[in-house]
Structure 1
Amino acid sequence: MQKHHWLRAGLFAAAASAAFAAAPAQAQGSLVMYCGVQEEWCRAMSGAFEKETGIKVAMTRKSAGEIYAQLKAESSNPRGDIWWGGTGDPHLQAAEEGLTQDYESPANKDLHEWALAQWEAAKKRSVGIYAGALGFGYNTQQIKAKGLAEPKCWADLLDPKLKDDVQVADPNSSGTAYNLLATVVQLMGEDKGFDYLRALHKNISQYTKSGAAPAKAASLGETAVGIVFIHDAVVFAVQGDPIKAVAPCEGTGYEIGSMSIVKGARNLDNAKKFYDWALTPAAQALAAPAKSYQVPSNK
């Protein structure tokens, strides 16, 4: 009788163990995530983290400039926990203003030097998660129809035949556009750089809210040229759209996409868990399936 009792107990324990092993992660609180990359990548990251940890993620997608402005507006009563993605300059600005907090992840040892340089520049309040070079994408059909040679340089975008046929993001909302401004000034000097931007303005049809939007517009033929990070143009080239990505002949700048923990985060422990997880190879490998082709920060 005793033997049967222990047998039943053993079978019950084994069944319970198997049930727990097969079950998804149990709920472990929540996380408010401000995401500064493309929607598809944002959803992939938030969904994978939620599935792996059981932590419920409330994700909002905005441009880096918009997220920075939101953190500033909410500084007296923070609502976000983690800011993931978007160009590094707004992250650095937020760090300088005390809108984000310092954190050293155990994963730092596995990161490229440029990612750690961002962390050090931000006084440990932001870290690099990917890198991407600035350039532009042009619609091959539109350029051919205008009788233009393939644009290869920043100077080519000043051609009068491109009047009202170039798009770039608005620097008031987009880190991409701010990167363009900084790139041009560093390449040409302040005076010539602003002369270039004034001349370029004559060809701009729209200053978009999102940094990546001009690439989509170029792929659809809504504009001949979209000034974007090169990986944003590659997304549409890979799927067969008539768009070609260009690294300008004069040289170019680049972004270090970053991640920061919000100062005063209500779910601080979960923010740190996401931060550590987002720096792993497995998490960063979610980029390519989401059609994002930046260089990951994990070696």
Structure 2
Amino acid sequence: MKSWTHLSALSIATLSLAAPAFADELTVYTALEEEEIAAYVDAAQKAMPDTEINVLRLSTGKLGARLLAEAGNPQADVIWGWAVSAMMDPQILDMLEPYAAKGVDVLPDTFRGGDGKWFAPIGYMGAFCVNTARLEEKGLPMPTSWADLENPAFEGEVLMPDPNSSGTGYLHVNAVLQSMGEEAGWAQLAAIDPNMAQYTSSGSKPCKSARVGEYTVGISLAFTAMQSIDEGYPLAMVFPEGGVGYELEASGLMASSDNKDAAKAFLDWTMSDEAIGLYQTYKALITVPGVDASKAAEAAGLPADISTILAEIDFVEAAQNQTAVKAAWKEKFGR
């Protein structure tokens, strides 16, 4: 029996799967979306019946802040599905120890740390979620690029995540800056700022607000767009010209864990055939060679070769510049 406990003061959700008795208990920190966590943990719990898997879900920024706040007394055994650009913070890497999960050797070097401290079989990518019904009602043109969102007709019709609290927000900002160059990138973000109705703390909220017709464009996640289209919402998934931002969702073993056997077993499961099969249901970006996207992804318009739409992202640069970029963004656009 699954039970969710929401602690609104910390904006977290703790997932716990109850069972009669467990030999071990595992604490996992993640920034994965709630919709997918439940499915993954349900399967992992069945694969590890003697281990109680407790999951703490936080947004990307809040997860990093919690880990740093707990540095003197770490509480997590595993970091699971967290933005690699956040995980590459030297203070975070110091908390991890190398571990080669079973099956990780199939991943190209780009998707695992050279020091063995992280690996990423999955990732997420950005997209514009455009409500086609509202677009037609208001007589607006379909946006296909960031520049299209400068149109004054979109005033108050666009939502975007705040990069200071959302990994999705940083993904988009970083892609604009890296693909356009810093000066042109900041100018582009400034040009669309007057049309922004709100900057949200959640990466999926802009798409969820757009799909129900509250706004026309939600700058958000491809995963949420695909899910929304599959559920019948009047939504189009648009990948902006010039390259869409993406992020790797990395996992690693906490050096401080006092239950490393269970932690390693869980990390092994995240690379299992069962886990990879589930990724096909939820992820637009799977780094395991030879794994196809889901039928829902294809139906929503995800190209067979997603490399044709991805921006060229330097994740080392993204990690190194993250603090400065977030500070600059807050100064320019924070509300």
Fold-level similarity (TM above 0.5): yes
TM-score class, shorter-chain normalisation, is: 0.7 to 0.9
Residue 236 of structure 1: how far off its partner (Å): 0.1
Residue of structure 2 equivalent to 1:294 = 284
Deviates more, 1:92-101 or 1:269-278: 92-101
Residue of structure 2 equivalent to 1:168 = 160
Residues 55-104 of structure 1: CA deviation (Å, up to 9, x unaligned): 10111211122111111111110111112113321122266651322212
Q: Which amino acid aligns with 1:298?
A: V
Residue of structure 1 equivalent to 2:60 = 64
Identify, as 1 or 2, the structure richer in helix. Answer: 1
Structure exhibiting the larger radius of gyration computed from Cα positions: 1
**What is the alpha-carbon distance in structure 1 between the residues aligned to residue 152 and residue 75 of structure 2?**
47
**What is the alpha-carbon distance in structure 1 between the residues aligned to residue 175 and residue 209 of structure 2?**
23
**What is the alpha-carbon distance in structure 2 between the residues aligned to residue 295 and residue 95 of structure 1?**
27
Q: Determine what percentage of the aligned residue pairs are the same residue.
A: 30
Correspondence for 1:117 among 101, 110, 124 = 110
Matched, 1:86 2:82: yes
Cα-Cα RMSD: 2.0
State whether residues 35 and 86 of structure 1, in contact with CA within 8 Å, keep that contact through their aligned partners in structure 2. Answer: yes
**What is the alpha-carbon distance in structure 1 between the residues aligned to residue 237 and residue 146 of structure 2?**
13
TM norm structure 2: 0.75
State whether residues 279 and 297 of structure 1, in contact with CA within 8 Å, keep that contact through their aligned partners in structure 2. Answer: no
Q: How does 1:256-275 map to 2 (within 5 A)?
A: 256-275=248-267
Q: Which amino acid aligns with 2:288?
A: N
Correspondence for 2:238 among 242, 246, 251 = 246
Matched, 1:146 2:138: yes
Counterparts in 2 of 1:261 and 1:139: CA distance versus 1, 3 Å: same
Residue of structure 2 equivalent to 1:158 = 150
TM norm structure 1: 0.84
Residues 98-137 of structure 1: CA deviation (Å, up to 9, x unaligned): 13222122311232x1xx323225x322111213332211
Q: Secondary structure at the match of 1:261?
A: strand
**What is the alpha-carbon distance in structure 2 between the residues aligned to residue 44 and residue 274 of structure 1?**
14
State the aligned residue count.
Answer: 270
State whether residues 144 and 240 of structure 2, in contact with CA within 8 Å, keep that contact through their aligned partners in structure 1. Answer: yes
State whether residues 128 and 257 of structure 1, in contact with CA within 8 Å, keep that contact through their aligned partners in structure 2. Answer: yes
**What is the alpha-carbon distance in structure 2 between the residues aligned to residue 143 and residue 202 of structure 1?**
19
Residue 197 of structure 1: how far off its partner (Å): 1.2
Q: Secondary structure at the match of 1:47?
A: helix
Counterparts in 2 of 1:74 and 1:214: CA distance versus 1, 3 Å: same
Residue of structure 2 equivalent to 1:211 = 203
**What is the alpha-carbon distance in structure 1 between the residues aligned to residue 41 and residue 207 of structure 2?**
24
Counterparts in 2 of 1:243 and 1:94: CA distance versus 1, 3 Å: farther
